[in-house]
Amino acid sequence: MSKSTSFMSVSPYVRNMVLLLPQISLSSLKEALSKVLVPYYPLAGRLKESSDGVLQLACTGEGAWFMEASANYSLDSVNYFNNVFMNLHTDLLPTPAPEFRCIDLLVQFQLIHFTCEGFVLGFKLCHTVLDGLGVAQFLNAIGEFARGFLHPTIAPIWYREAIPAHAWLVRALGEIKVPPPPPPSLSYQLEHASIHTSLEEINKLKNDFFEFSGIYCSTYGGQLIIHAVTPNARKFLDSPLPEGYYGNLLHQVTVTIASGLLVEA
């Protein structure tokens, strides 16, 4: 797969996912990727560390990372990437040059050309800055610009001042703290694996365990079960957020219940 790289910059006139775009021309897509960074100008910035050791977003206007690549096979030969292994999807995602830290780049695109004249857009976005709803809004704006819209249907709104600060951030800003050291680098490489366990295999494993121990694996006994979810917290704010907010507003919520009560329910 051959590649070439450039930056999409912001101008006053024109700013781990994979998209198949069968009804959008290549030229209009490139133009849309540039135009969308005007209303979404914070995403053309970089993450910076403040003097207090807090990670902040600097609206530097440096642009998004953009890479083009070509593949020597057609989309049809890989069934349009339906039901393929995860490691093949990884090849579709952008990989910045070593001199750039991935954490600093908020938006990264890779446009892959195939022999069938089709193309795929792979991208990475900083999940700390955008949550799932924000990503969907951003992608819709790209599609609208590619279809000739002059402005996105939903105007993006930053509005971070309305989001309550986490308790740890309030403490960090009120105290002089030495930032924690970076985690140790791993000496081994992780690999993607796709494992499918059928219901028959699960039942066989449970039966084998019953024959070995005399205990049937149907419940967790008297243990407590903790269920953790990360819901969208937009509607839980005292003042509802205006339409167009695209930042991350997810909060982890946990529910603890005895296994017996859960089974009875």
How much is the pTM? Answer: 0.68
What is the tally of structural domains in the chain? 2
Does residue 164 carry a pLDDT above 60? yes
Residues whose CB is less than 8 angstroms from the CB of residue 229 and which lie 6 or more positions away in sequence, other chains included: 252, 253, 254, 255
CATH of the domain at 17: 3.30.559.10
Q: Which amino acid is at 177?
A: K
| Whole-angstrom distance, CA of residue 173 vs CA of residue 128 | 19
Structural domain boundaries enclosing 60: 2-156
End-of-domain residue from the set 125, 141, 156: 156
Flag whether 62 is in a domain.
yes
Does residue 92 carry a pLDDT above 70? yes
- Residue 140: band (very low, low, confident or very high) from pLDDT cuts 50, 70, 90: very high
End-of-domain residue from the set 156, 186, 201: 156
Flag whether 256 is in a domain.
yes
Of 110, 113, 109, give the one whose Cα is nearest residue 75. 113
Burial-class residue 61 by CB neighbours within 10 Å (0-12, 13-18, 19+): middle
Does residue 6 carry a pLDDT above 50? no
Flag whether 197 is in a domain.
no
Q: What is the pLDDT of residue 96?
A: 73
Q: What is the pLDDT of residue 7?
A: 36
Does residue 61 carry a pLDDT above 80? yes
End-of-domain residue from the set 136, 156, 176: 156
Flag whether 61 is in a domain.
yes
